Structure 1
Amino acid sequence: MRHAHTSRTPSKTSLLRPPEHLLARLSRYWRDGGPWGWLNAMAVSVSLLLMMGLISLLLVGSLGHFWPSRLVEIALLEPMTQTSETSDADSAAIGNGQHLLGELMREEVRHVQTASGTSRPRQWWLLQTSSEQSAAASWRWLPKDMLNALTFPEQALALELRDGRVLYGMAQALSDPTTGELVTTDVSGSGKPLAEDATPLFVRLDDIESQRRNLAALRSHGEQLSKQLTALTQQYAARHDSGTVTAEFEEEINAARQALITREQQLMSLRDALTAGQLQLAGRGGHDGQIALEEIKRAWQPNALGFGGRLSLTLNRFADFISDTPNDGGEGAWPAIFGTVLMVVLMSVIVMPFGVMAALYLHEVAHQGRLTQLTRIALRNLAGVPSIVYGVFGLGFFVYGVGAGIDRLFYADQLPTPTFGTGGILWASLTLSLLTLPVVIVATEEGLARVPRRLREGALALGATRFETLWRVVLPAASPALMTGLILAVARAAGEVAPLMLVGVVKLAPELPVDDSFPWLHLDRKFMHLGHQVYDLAFQSSDAFSNRPLVYATALVLVVVILCLNLSAIRLRHLLAQRYKGATE
């Protein structure tokens, strides 16, 4: 019985799949989509690596400007004169000084012609020295064989002025706070020469910074007192005409006037204290002359700083770059950051309602015929139109058309000076809304197509109207797709520069579009943009080489701003997808 039972059991080898040939296995692997999965994973990995490489490049390039480099004092052998191996430009770059103080930037090998007609390599060093005349950096090319000695003095100072200039030198004398005379030693008690210990200078600069903050607070308080006195004066004139002036009201006006006078006296004394301080710089190869302490924005001794001090100084300088307004040196990105974010927000507020309504009409209301299909084809083609075409349209239609019409109707007394008939943040936002409208419509319509028909039929069966079905059922279920369209719109609009140059963006905007005066949001004002600032620093500057780190820094800020805007929209899309999970399944 055991033998018969065993004979009826099928053999183990009969259950195995017969062996396949190599070509058959490869064909089945290709049909199952195996290679495409690996190719997609590789493409995602390459994209992430490229993005990380871009951010790393921008970060390293921008830190070259904010990181405090060591100051080197170079002694030359002899004053350079023109020879057969140097040109007039080289001789002028070196000058007649025996010593130079600055930052050593990079080395370069040049081939020069000798007297015999042959060429030989010659090594040159690029030295950044003090910016004496303007905010543009001063560069000196030095041949290595003409350098006698290189030293790194710890007492060397680097001064960043408020007009964008950077000066290098040795502190020699500092004005006494009481007498105003220049003294070479610390009057506070240490008795050390200022050239050996610059601590009194740093203390005075900290005091001046606190005084500047007090001055700003007093100026703001003075403006409030002035507005209060103006309002009381107007009330006094009205009461005087009606004969209802009381003694208490006169005392209130006199108290407000006296408070304003006291505040003005405090402002004058603070301004006098700020302008009294002087610093004498000298030293071999550095800046030689007096500098008002009020003009110094920051001072440091690069050769005496450790890694922690350098990192702290770098972060402080980068924070000032983000929070300051541009000066003659081109630094300061806060107005551009504010203008970029505000423009994107206005564009989103404008484009989303129109894009959603257009998508609802095309997918839910319009007859699905030939005209609707042609409209969809036209929308997809509009998404590929160059952005400069939208800029020209915005300039002609919004600025010269709608804006000029608004001026004729409501601002005729200010003509020929235009109010809305010139570029502004409103026209820039409307132009970018037209630019991104096809993207929003296509993404929203695709999301509406993924909403199951059973949700619409169920809502209608329960007695909901067509509008209630669209508003309370269909749109919430398709809200993640709406946010996808917003993300795509923000990603394209935030980095556009060409159309903005025609409809409102400028190099320097004296006022922000938002302030504390009514109506608070001024849509007619011009604005600054991070993308345009990158373009201006890179291609419109007279000193593009020295502005290269600022280009990297501004581009880094632009990338971070776009990432933050996109991450905010992605986070909102994730929350909506979790809330309406299962509605489109």
Structure 2
Amino acid sequence: MKPDFTLPPAPGRPLGEANIWITSIGISVGLIMIFGLLGIILVNGMEAFWPKTIHELTLSPAAEGEKPYTLYASITKDQTRHVPADPTQPGSTARDIREYQLFTGSKETYGQSYRYVDVHNISASSTPQGLLCLERMEGGKALVKPLELQLASGETIPASSPEFMQAFRRALDHETELREEIKAIDTGKIGTVNTRLADARLDIKAIERSYDIREENGTRTAALKQNPVVRDVDHPVEELAKLNEKVARLNAEYEQYTAEASKLRAQQGRDTLVYSLGDGERKEISLDKAVYGYLPNDLGFFGKCGVFLHNLYHFIVDDPREANTEGGIFPAIFGTFIMTLLMSALVTPVGVIGATYLREYAKQGTLVQAVRICVNNLAGVPSIVFGVFGLGFFVYYLGGTIDELFYWKKLAVDNTPTFGTSGILWASLTLALMTLPVVIVSTEEALSAVPRGLREAALACGASKWQMIKRIILPSALPGVMTGLILAMARGAGEVAPLMVTGVVKLAPSLPIDGEGPFIHLERKFMHLGFHIYDVGFQSPDSDAAQPMVFATTLLLILLVVVMNLTAILIRNRLRKKYAASSF
């Protein structure tokens, strides 16, 4: 008799295996896109600092009867362009044209720094040694052939001399030292004197608008006017005399520092470089208008690495020039860093207090749930909405109130707002408000993850609820708080739209923190890396010249965010080891 049973069906693929494959493919594609984007930014950003070979190109004439002409250029792009057929020309067909994008420099001569040339129009090409890449204070770079160096001592050193580059670098170093000394006097000493002069003159105007000062029988008297600016001056005549003496003393200091700067400026521009362009045109430039120069065709690999490090260093520490398309971006780096730190210092305590109240003190119910929903919805509000709110509430209302309470004299005399205009404080507060939901949500999750046993043990030992929260709950939840802060920093550092109406500018004349008392100037406008990318990439008149700067600035912004986030992550890991009882 045969057994009465049937075999089970052959096992197929486990349920859900297809979903696992789809998920893994999605993650792989996402990682490829992220690292691909970072690779593009890294390559193009670093390429902006690498010295490029200078070619001597001979171009065919555009029309018959004209002579070929020569120019010095670096090949920055090799591309193929499709040219469609011209319907107005019989027999015209579509074709592909290979062309080079050339960096020629010398905008004052060629009209632009970049140009496109058909490869077939290049009749000769070479890379001779001795060609100089000259970075200038104005006009961008120039690719030239140096002829001679005329020194202030009367000595002339030809470019063929082995001592030419050493003398050229010594002269450039001397001009750089003079430029830095002049800048230190202008921004340091003269800047401080101008600030003190402005304060003294403000006090003088306030007294003059408040008191009617007359001279009778050799004696000066003061009578209070209607609607005076100040009322608390006991002896306005004597105070006015002291202020005038102070202004005279400060003017004397100003003249002294101006004379020092003028003496240094008289020493500039005594050395001259004589050079020629590709067409043989002879030109001269005083070295006070030059910044740096090198011979890229004469350099080996390690020499090019030295130039690369020099360009990268000065890009980080120098101020911008040429509508932000030349020079460095130190003010933007500094402004981004200070704004992010200030935003973090403002958002963290408010977010922790709000989350602690919602989790530990508020009675859970419909109202608290509605508050949580509102907090979550705030995270989806467009950033420009926060910017408009910051402009209306922080700048106009709160800043105007501060001016009326503490800077009323300046407001009444000059009608110039101090905090009632956009600045780094209001930009930081706006971004703190924008990132507040992230900190509240992450802190609430961290508080709820603290084991219940720790709470009960603390209360059983006689601790009050506040003592339990302060000494047990909050320290254990600090790693989760740091997670929220990391997310807030990453979002806030890259925002641009709210900053455009609350404090960021194209070029800031001074930093928010400097050596001038009170050293921290929260009312000042500032530069930001994100806005710098927008300004250079979309507002620059020369988009080709701005493209390397965009990639380099983007790379530095990413690195700055990564460094700040890594610092917060290291702090979080130390806290996690210290409070190992927490789930975070």
TM range (shorter): 0.7 to 0.9
For 1:455, what is the secondary structure of its paired residue? helix
- Residue 552 (structure 1) shift: 0.6
Q: C-alpha distance in 1, partners of 2:158/2:140? A: 27
Q: Is 1:341 aligned to residue 337 of structure 2?
A: yes
What is residue 206 of structure 2 aligned with on the other side? none
State the one-letter code of the partner of 1:119: T
CA deviation string 1:467-517 (max 9, x = no partner)? 111100110111111111101111111111111111111111111000112
Q: Partner amino acid for 1:326?
A: P
What corresponds to 2:128 in structure 1? Answer: 153
Taking the aligned partners of 2:182 and 2:28, their CA distance within structure 1 comes to 54
Residues 49-58 or 331-340, more deviating: 49-58
1:136/1:339 CA distance change after superposition, 3 Å: farther
Residues 566 and 46 of structure 1, relative CA distance in 2, 3 Å threshold:
farther
Residue 202 of structure 1 is matched in structure 2 by: 169
* SS of aligned partner of 1:276: coil
* Residue identity matched to 1:105: T
- Specify the SS of the correspondent of 2:57: strand
1:109 aligns with 2:74: no
**Cα separation, partners in 2 of 1:380 and 1:217, compared to 1, 3 Å:** closer
The alpha-carbon distance between structure 1 residues 517 and 360, as it changes in their structure 2 partners (threshold 3 A), is same
For residues 98-128 of structure 1, the C-alpha deviation after alignment (integer angstroms, 9 at most, x for no partner) is 2211112334435264953513534433322
Q: Which residue does the alignment assign to 1:185?
A: 158
Q: 1:57 to 1:171 in 2, by over 3 A?
A: same
Q: Look up the SS of the partner of 1:142 in the other structure.
A: strand
Residue 369 in structure 1 maps to residue 365 in structure 2 = yes
2-structure distance, mates of 1:407, 1:225: 22
User: Which segment drifts farther, 437-446 or 203-212?
Assistant: 203-212
What does the per-residue CA deviation read over 1:130-175, in whole Å, with 9 as the maximum and x for residues that have no partner? 2333999523333333332112121111100123511111111211
Contact 1:168 1:287 in 2 (8 A): no
Structure 1 segment 421-500 matched on structure 2, within 5 A: 421-500=420-499
Q: SS of 2:47's equivalent?
A: helix
Residue 408 to residue 161, structure 1, CA distance change in 2 (3 Å): same
TM-score normalised to structure 2 length: 0.80
Q: Whole-Å Cα distance in 2 between the matches of residues 560 and 301 of structure 1? A: 30
Cα displacement (A) at 1:408: 2.3
Distance in 2, matches of 1:219 and 1:357, equals 46
CA distance in 1, matches of 2:171, 2:39: 38
SS in 1 for 2:72: strand
Q: Which runs of 5+ in 1 are unaligned?
A: 1-17, 83-94, 187-191, 231-240, 242-256
- Provide the secondary structure at the position in 2 that maps to 1:290: strand
Shift of 1:22: 4.5
Asked if 1:176 is matched to 2:147, the reply is no
- 1:171 corresponds to which letter in structure 2? P
155-164 or 140-149, which deviates more? 140-149
Can you list the C-alpha shifts for 1:74-108, whole angstroms capped at 9, x where unaligned? 223335479xxxxxxxxxxxx98722111123344
In structure 2, which of residues 355, 366, 371 is the aligned counterpart of residue 359 of structure 1?
355
Report what 1:85 is aligned to.
none
**1:48, 1:24 → 2: CA distance?**
31
8 Å contact 2:60–2:68 — kept in the other structure?
no
Instruction: Check whether the contact 2:443–2:484 (CA below 8 A) recurs between aligned residues.
Output: yes
Percent identity of paired positions between Structure 1 and Structure 2: 40
- Where does residue 572 of structure 2 map in the other structure? 573
Q: Distance in 1 between matches of 2:493 and 2:436?
A: 14
Of 20, 33, 41, 1:50 maps to: 33
Q: Counterpart of 2:274 in structure 1: which amino acid? A: Q
1:302 counterpart residue number: 296
| Residue from 7, 16, 26 that aligns with 2:14 | 26
Letter in 2 for 1:567: L
What is the identity, as a one-letter code, of the residue corresponding to 2:60?
Answer: L
How far apart, CA to CA, are the structure 1 residues paired with 2:551 and 2:535?
A: 13
Asked if structure 2 preserves the Cα contact closer than 8 Å seen for 1:395 and 1:503, the reply is: yes
Unaligned runs of 5+ in 2: 1-5, 198-237, 239-251
TM-score after normalising by structure 1: 0.80
Equivalenced residue count is: 514
Residues 473 and 193 (structure 1), Cα distance of their counterparts in 2 relative to 1, 3 Å cut:
closer
In structure 2, the residue matched to 1:413 is 409
Moved more, 95-104 or 454-463: 95-104
Distance 1:136 1:378 in 2: 56
Aligned-partner SS, 2:581:
coil
Contact 1:135 1:328 in 2 (8 A): no
Q: Which AA in structure 2 matches 1:26?
A: P
Q: Distance in 1 between matches of 2:485 and 2:273?
A: 55
* Deviation for aligned residue 1:565: 1.1
CA, structure 1 residues 266+353, in 2 after alignment: closer, same or farther (shift >3 Å)?
closer
C-alpha root-mean-square deviation of aligned residues, in Å?
Answer: 3.4
Contact 1:168 1:286 in 2 (8 A): no
CA distance in structure 2 between the aligned counterparts of 1:22 and 1:535, rounded to whole angstroms = 61
The answer to whether 1:127 aligns with 2:99 is no
Aligned residues of 1:100 and 1:284 also touching (Cα < 8 A): yes
Kept after mapping to 2: 8 A contact 1:135/1:163:
no
Residues 54-65 of structure 1: matches in 2 within 5 Å? 54-65=37-48
Aligned match of 1:525: 524
With over 3 angstroms needed to count, the CA separation of the structure-2 counterparts of 1:110 and 1:73, relative to structure 1, is: farther
- The amino acid that maps onto 2:450 is V
Structure 1 equivalent of residue 390 of structure 2: 394
Pair 1:78-2:66 in alignment? no
Whether contact under 8 Å (2:44, 2:548) holds in the other structure is yes
Partner of 2:269: 275
Q: Secondary structure at 1:542's aligned position in 2? A: coil
* Amino acid across the alignment from 1:523: L
Partner amino acid, structure 1, of 2:81: V
C-alpha distance after superposition, 1:51-86 (max 9, x if no partner)? 33222111111233221111111223335479xxxx
Cα distance in 1 for residues equivalent to 2:193 and 2:521: 24
Could you list the per-position Cα deviations for residues 411-456 of structure 1 after superposition, in whole angstroms to 9, with x for gaps in the alignment?
Answer: 2333332211111111111111110111111111111111122211
Give, in whole Å, the separation in 2 of the partners of 1:100 and 1:569: 52
Q: Residue 213 of structure 1: CA displacement?
A: 5.2
Distance, in Å, in 1 between the alignment partners of 2:170 and 2:516 is 38
Please give the alpha-carbon distance, in whole angstroms, between the structure 1 residues aligned to 2:281 and 2:454: 77
SS at match of 2:106: coil
SS of equivalent residue, structure 1 residue 480: helix
Structure 2 residue matching 1:398: 3-state secondary structure = helix
Instruction: Give 1:376 deviation, angstroms.
Output: 0.8
1:317-336 paired onto structure 2 within 5 Å: 317-330=311-324, 331=326, 332-336=328-332
Alpha-carbon distance in structure 2 between the residues aligned to 1:334 and 1:136: 29
Show CA shifts across 1:269-314 (max 9, x none): 6543332111111143376311011111110111111111112211
Between 1:448-457 and 1:45-54, the stretch displaced more is: 45-54
Kept in 2: contact 1:487–1:566 (CA 8 A): yes
Paired position in structure 2 for 1:560: 559
What is the distance in 2 between the residues matched to 1:472 and 1:381? 32
Distance 2:260 2:436 in 1: 55
Give the SS at the match of 2:76: strand
SS of the residue aligned with 1:494? Answer: helix
Q: What is the distance in 2 between the residues matched to 1:493 and 1:21?
A: 58
1:220, distance to aligned residue in structure 2 (A)? 9.1
